[in-house]
Structure 1
Amino acid sequence: MDSSTVLDATFWLTTAAIAGLMVMSAFFSGSETALTAASRGKLRSRADKGDRGAASALKITEDNERLIGSVLLGNNLVNILATSLATSLFTRMFGESGVALATLVMTLLVLIFAEVLPKTYAITNAETAASRVSPAIRLVIMVFSPIVAAVRALVRGLLALFGVQTDPDGQVLAVRDEIAGALQLGHSEGVVMKEDRDRILGALDLAERTVEEVMLHRSKIEMVNADDDPEAIFAQCLHSPHTRLPIFKGDPENIIGVVHSKDLLRAIDALLHQDGEANGNLKRFRVLDVAKKPYFVPDTTTLDDQMREFLRRHTHFALVVDEYGALRGLITLEDILEEIVGEITDEFDVDAERPLRRTEDGHYLIDGAMTIRDLNRATDWNLPDEEANTIAGLVIHEAQMIPTPGQVFSFHGFRFEVLQRQANRVTKLKIGPL
């Protein structure tokens, strides 16, 4: 065989090898993009419907570090080998100038056919592509696992030298943060309505918030005195907008029961039908006979746990106490649900004072007892709530004093003007961005 025949055969074999390596490079690039961009929720839905590829993709994406390490190792191997073959081929054909020509040609080929094209397809069809490539990538991971493990150990050692600690089992994004980020992005793009975003984020936040943050403070609790006359107790319960009222004896701290308006009405009805002597029977009535045992919860209980406990106990009402057993407030199932769906009102709440009202100059008149979280949800502001639960508490914390009406403060990018104060409580403020 003459030299031209050998050269021709070598040329075509090398060209075929480079083309094959480019296909492999495209496969690795597209696979990396598809498996990292695919939604785990959508893959789970496909897997539940019997898609084995989606199930395999879910399994291999559990360890993103090992996945990316294996794919990058395979991708770099084929790219370097393809470039080496191209350099050898162009050097034979064009001499010394072949090196520069090979670099230019391979850069264009890799950029177009091994990077941009497969990655664009993978982003466009992330879940489908991830399901299709997962069996082959799973095999690649098995083959390259020993090398990847050594590389991971080396990388962690080098990062440790610079004081960077890595968590082998840590996820890049927590599930909650991933959902919250997607909702915020969808809202900013006009795809997700503000109300829908707030409801979902409110449900996600239940495990992060405690009953202390949403409870009704003890100063606002309406109570029944067990020592009052039965007629006074009946009148108080019937005129109250609440269906359940705590009962105290002697000291408001001494809660000994909770009366439900339905139980009270049943007792009255029973007394009215006894011997035809309604007045005499009413005078002998004891409210504790129809009261239920009070249910106390610590103020550090999370809203998620408290909601589950309400559902388990088939009750909607609990009294909140601190670590010393002192009464802090009360919380109902409705309070927790309002953290998800927003303010819930009925025919007894329509005349209640609105805690938030916008003025003509764009500022807001706000009840001092309004929680910072509710204000942020209503206005899309981002006032911090780490040090205080209410707007009044935030002003007092930042001012390091109990302000008087007329005082103005500026912090966190907002102007706070104190309008009203009762005793030591700031009851009304005017707030607006600076």
Structure 2
Amino acid sequence: MDTTVLDTSFWLTAAGILALLGFSAFFSGSETALTAASRAKLRAGADKGETGATAALEVTEDSERLIGAVLLGNNVVNILSASLATSLLTQLFGNSGVALATLVMTVLVLIFAEVLPKTYAISQPEAVAARVALPIRWVIRLLSPLVAVVRLVVRGLLFILGQRIEAGQHMFSIHDEIMGALAIGTSEGTVDKEDRDRLIGALDLGNRTVEEIMLHRSQIEMLDAEAAPDVILTAVLNSPHTRLPLYKGERENVIGVIHAKDLLRAVERFLRTGDGNLDSVADLDITKVMMKPYFIPETTPLDEQMREFLKRRTHFALVVDEYGDLKGLLTLEDILEEIVGEITDEFDPKAERMLKPTESGDYLVEGAMTIRDLNRETDWTLPDEEANTIAGLVIHEAQTIPEAGQVFAFHGFRFEVMERKDNRITKLKIRPLAPLAP
């Protein structure tokens, strides 16, 4: 070891290395804090007037530019510190100083410039992000020309590899973050399954269409507008529904919707202004009581349709396909049930449960049960891209309408057709082929 080199230059170089390690720690901790911080919490802080939280929201808006600037700064200071350490230790120990500098800088960078600052940042990401956001903003502005060149090169290389990144594209999806947080919370027991289902149901409304949850036209209770008014009155009073479509000639030709309250008000007025004899209700003109039908396309997203229901102050719509043919019926309650689960009242018919577990581990499932509802109740992951109902999934996979007693295996489950009525599968028995992962 040559002690003659321990002069002012030596100590200045050593101090420079320590300062560069400090900058490296700053960049590493900032990267971790700004990428791990919850934008929702930062927004809450910004709304309270916190300058750091506001700056953190600003710098994380363009995540690609943020990461580019931080990584560029971090790599510059790491390379520079390693070069200075190599030069310094080479003066002291000769050629062996290169190996020694590599060992020493690896340990120092790993502990003090990577693990320590990142561990601290991840323990309280929002607080650290708020503190480092202002200086990082200046770093981004200073390095923006170099970052722009780096970004251009990276996008070019990715384009060659067939990967395109849209301008302004965010690195993280808020929707995916929430879904992931709910999944982790449920697996750890901090979020109830029912709460998770309600939140996911609300988040998924924009990804689902009216067709997926509508009541099929074969199940719609409808009234013939040409029937006698007293017959219609009796049917309305006996129905569990307050709104019933009226058709003329054939069921596809819906001309209006009768509301039970409107009909009863009309009957009351008719009796008061007439002879008071209930038999005279036969002279009531039902077409003057009915409401104009509201038709919607089957491809309408559920969140848009819910807003439209609220805007129109109506709860009832008839669903049609691209040719204008009647496909089904949708109510506001149907959409709400996708969030909160089944809603029933004292007038709803007491139907059997669509899903019944058996002692042998099988599940008896009504064919009309939607795949989404089955997945929701059992935590399964059966695909619903090709079909909405369990019966539809079996028919799609079998490429035919199976007979009762036929058995199929796909997607990791065993499906046995228990009952078939005409061309409809009405009941199935389902069992996982292997134990499901916890």
Question: Residue 298 of structure 2 aligns to which amino acid in structure 1?
Answer: D
Which shifted more, 350-359 or 366-375?
350-359
Distance (whole Å) between structure 2 residues aligned to residue 311 and residue 263 of structure 1: 20
Distance (whole Å) between structure 1 residues aligned to residue 36 and residue 131 of structure 2: 14
> Please, which runs of 5 or more residues in structure 1 have no aligned partner?
none
Distance (whole Å) between structure 1 residues aligned to residue 70 and residue 193 of structure 2: 40
Tell me, yes or no, if structure 1 residue 351 matches structure 2 residue 323: no
The equivalent of 1:28 in structure 2 is 27
Question: Residue 274 of structure 1 aligns to which amino acid in structure 2?
Answer: T
Question: Residue 217 of structure 1 aligns to which amino acid in structure 2?
Answer: H
* CA deviations over 1:336-392 (Å, ceiling 9, x no partner): 000111111111236212111111111111111111111111111111111111111
Contact kept in structure 1, 2:319 and 2:328, CA below 8 Å: yes
The equivalent of 1:331 in structure 2 is 330
The equivalent of 2:369 in structure 1 is 370
Tell me, yes or no, if structure 1 residue 223 matches structure 2 residue 225: no
Distance (whole Å) between structure 2 residues aligned to residue 138 and residue 116 of structure 1: 23
- Backbone CA RMSD of aligned residues: 1.6
Contact kept in structure 1, 2:3 and 2:92, CA below 8 Å: no
* CA apart distance, 1:176: 1.4
The equivalent of 1:92 in structure 2 is 91
Q: TM-score, normalised by structure 1?
A: 0.96
Contact kept in structure 2, 1:419 and 1:429, CA below 8 Å: yes
Relative to structure 1, the CA distance from residue 223 to residue 158 in structure 2 (aligned partners, 3 Å threshold; closer, same or farther) is closer
The equivalent of 1:63 in structure 2 is 62
* CA deviations over 1:99-132 (Å, ceiling 9, x no partner): 2222211111111111111101110111111111
Which shifted more, 198-207 or 171-180?
171-180
Relative to structure 1, the CA distance from residue 29 to residue 354 in structure 2 (aligned partners, 3 Å threshold; closer, same or farther) is same
Tell me, yes or no, if structure 1 residue 244 matches structure 2 residue 243: yes
* CA deviations over 1:188-207 (Å, ceiling 9, x no partner): 12111111111111111111
Relative to structure 1, the CA distance from residue 266 to residue 162 in structure 2 (aligned partners, 3 Å threshold; closer, same or farther) is closer
Equivalent residues in 2 for 1:114-263 (5 A)? 114-263=113-262
The equivalent of 1:313 in structure 2 is 312
Contact kept in structure 1, 2:5 and 2:92, CA below 8 Å: no
The equivalent of 2:436 in structure 1 is none
Tell me, yes or no, if structure 1 residue 78 matches structure 2 residue 77: yes
Distance (whole Å) between structure 1 residues aligned to residue 37 and residue 30 of structure 2: 10
The equivalent of 2:379 in structure 1 is 380
The equivalent of 2:103 in structure 1 is 104
Distance (whole Å) between structure 2 residues aligned to residue 194 and residue 6 of structure 1: 68
The equivalent of 1:419 in structure 2 is 418
Distance (whole Å) between structure 1 residues aligned to residue 159 and residue 261 of structure 2: 66
The equivalent of 1:52 in structure 2 is 51
Question: Residue 262 of structure 2 aligns to which amino acid in structure 1?
Answer: D
Equivalent residue of 2:405, what SS?
coil
* CA deviations over 1:269-321 (Å, ceiling 9, x no partner): 22333354313531211222211111111111111111111101110000111
Contact kept in structure 2, 1:22 and 1:82, CA below 8 Å: yes
Question: Residue 357 of structure 1 aligns to which amino acid in structure 2?
Answer: K
* CA apart distance, 1:93: 2.1
Distance (whole Å) between structure 2 residues aligned to residue 173 and residue 33 of structure 1: 14
Q: TM-score, normalised by structure 2?
A: 0.95
Relative to structure 1, the CA distance from residue 284 to residue 158 in structure 2 (aligned partners, 3 Å threshold; closer, same or farther) is closer
> Please, which runs of 5 or more residues in structure 2 have no aligned partner?
434-438
Equivalent residue of 2:409, what SS?
strand
Relative to structure 1, the CA distance from residue 150 to residue 277 in structure 2 (aligned partners, 3 Å threshold; closer, same or farther) is closer
The equivalent of 1:389 in structure 2 is 388
Distance (whole Å) between structure 1 residues aligned to residue 326 and residue 94 of structure 2: 90
Contact kept in structure 1, 2:240 and 2:349, CA below 8 Å: no
Distance (whole Å) between structure 2 residues aligned to residue 395 and residue 314 of structure 1: 39
* CA deviations over 1:233-286 (Å, ceiling 9, x no partner): 111111111011011111111111111111122222223333543135312112
Equivalent residue of 2:7, what SS?
helix
Distance (whole Å) between structure 1 residues aligned to residue 35 and residue 395 of structure 2: 47
Contact kept in structure 1, 2:298 and 2:319, CA below 8 Å: yes
* CA deviations over 1:377-422 (Å, ceiling 9, x no partner): 1111111111111111111111111111111111111111111111
Distance (whole Å) between structure 2 residues aligned to residue 67 and residue 280 of structure 1: 79
